[in-house]
Amino acid sequence: QVQLVESGGGLVQPGGSLRLACAASGSIFSISAMGWYRQAPGKERELVATLISGGSINYADPVKGRFTISRDNANNTVYLQMNSLKPEDTAVYYCYGFVRYSALSLVHKYWGKGTPVTISS
């Protein structure tokens, strides 16, 4: 009933920028939080950034000062602005959201299918 679709990934040179977007659609009553994970080759999946509905934001240490998470509540979309990109940022980036699909439903964590980001000269 709920879908998350990422966009904006691609190939960027070191030092460049990308903005990822994740749009939630379907039956949505409310969204408590949205954010991003990433999984680099040979590494475990890691949480990159989270934006709570009340405004609280958390970033993983490797991206602090370079990445910015934001959201457009009207369109149920979360963004990840990635600046000063490094080769080690190369990964598949996955969007997630904690979503209620009705007033009586439990909060459920939904995932997007991922968008690849490659940082290379």
pLDDT tens digits for range 40-92: 989 999 999 999 988 899 999 999 999 999 999 888 999 999 999 999 999 99
Q: Which residues contact 90 (CB under 8 A, 6 or more apart)?
A: 40, 41, 117, 118, 119, 120
Q: What is the C-alpha to C-alpha distance for residues 85 and 37, in angstroms, rounded to an integer?
A: 16
Give the distance, in angstroms, between the CA of residue 70 and the centroid of all CA atoms in the same chain: 9
Question: Quick check: helix, strand or coil at residue 18?
Answer: strand
User: How many residues belong to the chain?
Assistant: 121
Model confidence at 109, in pLDDT bands (50, 70, 90)? Answer: very high
pLDDT tens digits for range 16-54: 999 999 999 998 999 999 999 999 989 999 999 999 988
Q: What number is the average pLDDT over the span 87-104?
A: 95
Q: What is the C-alpha to C-alpha distance for residues 95 and 7, in angstroms, rounded to an integer?
A: 10
Per the DSSP assignment, residues forming a β-bridge with 49 are 36, 59
Q: What is the pLDDT of residue 4?
A: 96
